[in-house]
Amino acid sequence: MTLIETIFREASRLDIDAVLIGGLALPAYSVIRTTLDIDIAISIESQDKLDEFIERMKRNEVKTKS
């Protein structure tokens, strides 16, 4: 499973809205651009849900800054 798949899978399981933005989202508009990062916007309504999301990222070996 890719990093993006992991992030979106866990966000979905926690009912967190998430969207891919930045250079990786450009092909949806028929624009190609080389990028070295992944930009994802998420909307989390509580500290508890944020803590759970971060914990799930750690369990999946996704490094976060918290």
Q: Report whether pLDDT(3) > 80.
A: yes
**Per-residue confidence (pLDDT) for residue 8, from 0 to 100:** 95
The Cα 13–Cα 17 span in angstroms is 10
pLDDT, one tens digit per residue, over 5-54 is 999 999 999 999 999 887 777 777 787 878 777 788 999 999 999 999 99
Phi, psi of 37 (to 5 degrees): -130, 170
**Per-residue confidence (pLDDT) for residue 66, from 0 to 100:** 57
- Can you give the pTM of this predicted structure? 0.75
**Per-residue confidence (pLDDT) for residue 64, from 0 to 100:** 66
CA distances from 28 to 25, 32, 39 (A): 6, 9, 15
Question: Is the backbone of residue 22 left (phi > 0), alpha (psi -120 to 50) or beta?
Answer: left
Answer yes or no: are the C-beta atoms of 5 and 60 closer than 8 Å.
no
**Per-residue confidence (pLDDT) for residue 37, from 0 to 100:** 76
For residue 5, what is the enclosing H or E element?
A: helix 3-13
